[in-house]
A and B are shown apart, each in its own frame.
Chain A
Amino acid sequence: MYKDYPVTVQYASRNLWSGFLFGLGLIAFFDEAVFHQLLHWHHFYDKSTTSIGLVSDGFFHAFSWFATIGGLFLVADLRRRNAWYIKRWWGGVLTGAGLFQLYDGTIQHKLWRLHQIRYHVDILPYDLVWNITACLILLAGLIMVVRTRPKVKEEK
């Protein structure tokens, strides 16, 4: 469709998807490394976990692992085509990261009770910081995505 446009425009959506996938994988990896392994705040399994929460966790875990690796291969592909539009890619990263953070903090933690952010503390401030941060990251990402969208002029 954008055949006569610069390659960064031709590959605008691949830039966005590559960033989105990598961002989603990155935040999931951060969650696993920092909150599970380093701080030991999150629990591997919480007795109040619902079955659907367990299924959701399994799928997101698998998806984020795949997305991290696949997202970076997409970057490599964009680079060899000289089509890596870094600003748009970062917009994708923040959107993916913010969206997963928000999904994790609301649906997975609260609705399906997968596990809480931390145990034996007043959880409200933790939930607020978690979800507000998620919204800010998501908002920043969306703004960058909108501002870097390809401007297609009508063919003369």
Chain B
Amino acid sequence: MDHRLYWIPQLLLLLPFAVAGFAYLFGIIHTTRRQRPWPVFRTCFWFAGSVFAIISVAGPIAILAHDSFFFHMLGHLLLGMLAPLLMVLGAPVTLLLRALSVANAKRVSRFLRSRPFSLLSDPSFAGILNIGGLWVLYTTGLYQAMHHSIFLHVFIHLHVFIAGYVFTAAMVYIDPTPHRAGYRYRASILLLALAGHAILAKYLYAHPPAQVHVADAEAGSMLMYYGGDLIDAFLIFLVCLQWYKAARPSVLHTSHHASRGVKKQPTSS
């Protein structure tokens, strides 16, 4: 790709995030008008995620990524892992349902319960979409081809974000999720995905994609390995935290032997 044309993919990739940002603001205004204020921390998560997504697709990191595997990988961590995690915490679907009229909100929730959507929220499907996509990108000629085609460049970057978002949303349930998977299943898939990510990172250390210099590949793959760990730690933490809340004991034991003979007292009035 001619470097004079770099602005085209940057603009094309920036637009969806900018539009989503305005839509989110519009949603906040709508729901606040109906006396249902939207939590500030959700807004912060959403816009922090949007900022990380935008700086990874437009600006200095995006430009350096055309020639450097290391900066490509930095952009990938921000676009495919950090931005999706923060944006999932922004609970956009909850905001959408609140901002819409009752009739339209019902239509949306019917769509969320539909069969195609259940596939998207299945951890296995999301995991294959996410980690499988990475293996295809870096172990075939796709990574090299991406540098010569604006269409491929835009498509792959959108895929990295969407796959990251779908995967994160399939692991932690912030928004309404009609098709819920159990904790064991989600933890197993998360484990497989983490392993797939770590194995790919070390594989790339030894087998750099075509036209990537050895030192660049080594720096990039180590960033992928350790940077991925750092962001995944938060994802693991959130999955465990949701389990911890869900597994809350119904009767709290007050001493080591309190469980003996404790019976629920009927509340008398």
Interface on A for B, CB 8 Å cutoff? 3-4, 6-8, 10, 44-45, 47, 49, 54-55, 57-59, 61-63, 65-66, 69-70, 73, 76-77, 80-83
Contacts and interface: CB of A to CB of B under 8 A. Distances in A.
Given A73-B241, A81-B249, A6 B259 contact: yes
B41 interface: no
Contacts of B191: 59, 62-63, 66
Contact of B187 (A8, A45, A70): A70
Interface stretch (B79-87, B152-160, B201-209): B201-209
Contact of A65 (B218, B233, B244, B256): B233
Interface of B: 187, 190-192, 194-199, 202-203, 205-206, 218, 222, 225, 229, 232-233, 236-237, 240-241, 243-244, 247-249, 252-260
Nearest to B237: A69
Given A45-B206, A81-B249, 12 more contacts: A4-B260, A7-B253, A7-B257, A44-B205, A44-B218, A57-B198, A57-B199, A63-B191, A69-B233, A69-B240, A73-B240, A77-B247
A61 B244 contact: no
Contacts, number: 87
Contacts of B256: 6-8, 82
B199 A66 contact: no
Q: Which 5 residue pairs across A and B have the least CB separation, nearest first? A: A58-B199, A62-B194, A62-B195, A58-B198, A73-B240
Is chain B's interface secondary structure helix, strand, loop, or mixed overall? helix
A65 B247 contact: no
Contact of A73 (B198, B243, B259): B243
Given A44-B202, A45-B202, A47-B206, A80 B252 contact: yes
30 contacts: A6-B257, A7-B258, A8-B256, A44-B202, A44-B205, A44-B218, A44-B222, A45-B202, A45-B205, A45-B206, A54-B199, A54-B203, A58-B198, A58-B202, A61-B195, A61-B198, A62-B197, A63-B191, A63-B195, A65-B194, A65-B233, A69-B233, A69-B237, A69-B240, A70-B187, A70-B240, A73-B243, A82-B254, A82-B258, A83-B253
B253 A77 contact: no
A77 B236 contact: no
A77 to B, nearest CB: 6
A34 B225 CA distance: 17
B204 to A, nearest CB: 10
A95 to B, nearest CB: 21
Contact of A58 (B196, B218, B240, B247): B196
Contacts of A54: 199, 202-203
Contacts of B258: 7, 82
Contact of A59 (B195, B222, B254): B195
Contact of A81 (B190, B222, B253): B253
Contact of B232 (A45, A49, A65, A82): A65
